[in-house]
Homo-oligomer: A and B are copies of this chain.
Amino acid sequence: MTAETICVGTELLLGNIVNTNAVYLAKEYAKYGISSYSQTVVGDNAERIKTAVKDALGRADVVVVSGGLGPTQDDITKECVASIFDLPLKLDSASMTKIEAFFKKRGKAMSENNKRQAMIPEGAKILENGNGLAPGVIIELDKDLKPSDKDVSKCVILLPGPPEELRNVWENGAAPYLKARSGNVIESVMVKICGRAESEVAAILDDLIDSKGPVTVAPYAGTAEVHLRVTAGGEDEKAARKLIKPVVKEIKARLGDSVYTTGDKSLEAAVVELLLANSLTVTTVESCTGGLLAGRIINVPGVSEIYKAGYITYSNKAKRKLAGVSRKSLDKYGAVSSQVASEMAKGATTLYKADVAVAVSGNAGPEPSEGKPVGLVYIAVNVAGKVSVKEFNFSGDRAKIRDLSVSNALIMMRQCILEYYGRMTFGSADEK
């Protein structure tokens, strides 16, 4: 099965917003084993929308069109696509009832325009929208591209543009529909790896990545991370999972502790889980990252059990007063040094009692500082009094260097805790 995405919206052509819907759908296609060879963005223009849909139907089995289902005059996707197939738009009473209830609840007057969201091309399947008023639509086509629910050969799927609505309609309506139609069940597992370069992972797993067998292994590079999507098809979920399992096992065997999850969790969630499993509290002392490390840790729900307090010690005086760094070390080695990073990690645990302390001190640029080049960063981790410190030389602009520092601090935390407390043995719901 092949799919093409067409995103409708002048705001995309103006660079007003980033096309996150295209990325989301691309990942979803990969997850379900659907191939995609093209994506298109067009403005809110009837002729261009129709041409784009017709062209895409010439190439792909499934054409997914996002955006333009709203109530304003700019929203013309449904009318355009219906007109390609000469389908009249009919009022769907269930959608209308929902729209009326929405306005009634808010005590607002419903405009005539809102009615347009309940107009559905005749004979189309309606996909409920759990996050908004515009339902999704599937128009099924036979091999001559005529609307028909018999011998369905291709289809056009219309999804609302707001990302949370698109995801809701895709997950609950479009994806199950395509899964059912493909006959073959596609399953996939995401294996997430940290602390290894993409080229290193590719070299270690080259036979699995290049394999022409039933299981595909596709690498994705992230900031200081590599993600592998392991995908297989089968007659049912069990059969597909049976194919995937030994490949995931082999990847874990080759990469060891570098694999931090075979589920969907983030690196910071994996680190927080490790801290929770070992009942370890944590604190952060940040200079160049200035709160971003704490910010990422605190994005994990339930972190309050292990994260209590943290410090941003941007000035040398703050490093001395808040983290107990010695004036001598600051004078002798400078703030960007392994000595000062270590003292920050040591001092933090005594100031605010925590089992684990992480310290970051570096020069994120844009200019060299105290003779230290841009990109030089020291990260120190103190686990129960044992301090590890590492030097990094990052490339990129200020934001990139700070981002890499945060990711590497999380990776070091994980490594140090694993070394000290041994591999975790707790069972996690998302481990596969």
Q: Which residues of A contact B (CB under 8 A)?
A: 11-20, 22-30, 36-43, 45, 48, 52, 55, 218, 220-221, 284, 286, 288-295, 297-299, 301, 303-304, 307-315, 317-318, 321-322, 352, 365-367, 398-399, 402
Copy total for this chain: 2
CA gap between A298 and B291 in the complex, in Å: 9
- In the complex, which residues of chain B have a beta carbon less than 8 angstroms from the beta carbon of A15? 22-30
Closest to A16 in B: B220
Most interface-central of A11, A17, A290, A304 (chain B CB within 10 A):
A290
Apart from A19-B22, A22-B41: 18 A-B pairs, beta carbons within 8 A: A15-B24, A15-B29, A18-B19, A37-B48, A38-B40, A284-B312, A288-B298, A290-B295, A290-B299, A291-B295, A292-B292, A295-B402, A301-B366, A301-B398, A309-B313, A310-B314, A311-B311, A318-B352
User: Are the C-beta atoms of B309 and A291 separated by less than 8 Å?
Assistant: no
A38 CB, nearest partner CB in chain B, Å: 5
Given contacts A27-B15, A293-B291, contact A314 B309 (CB under 8 A): yes
Most chain-B CB neighbours within 10 Å: which of A295, A307, A317, A365?
Answer: A295
User: How far is B315's CA from A303's CA once the two chains are assembled, in angstroms?
Assistant: 10
In the bound complex, CA of A398 to CA of B269 (Å)? 14
A interface: dominant SS: mixed
Q: Which residues of B contact A297 (CB under 8 A)?
A: 290
Complex contacts, A25 vs chain B, CB 8 Å: 15
Establish whether residues A290 and B298, one from each chain, have CB atoms under 8 Å apart when the complex forms.
yes
A40 touches B37 (CB 8 A): no
A35–chain B nearest beta-carbon distance, Å: 9
Contact call A13/B38, Cβ cutoff below 8 A? yes
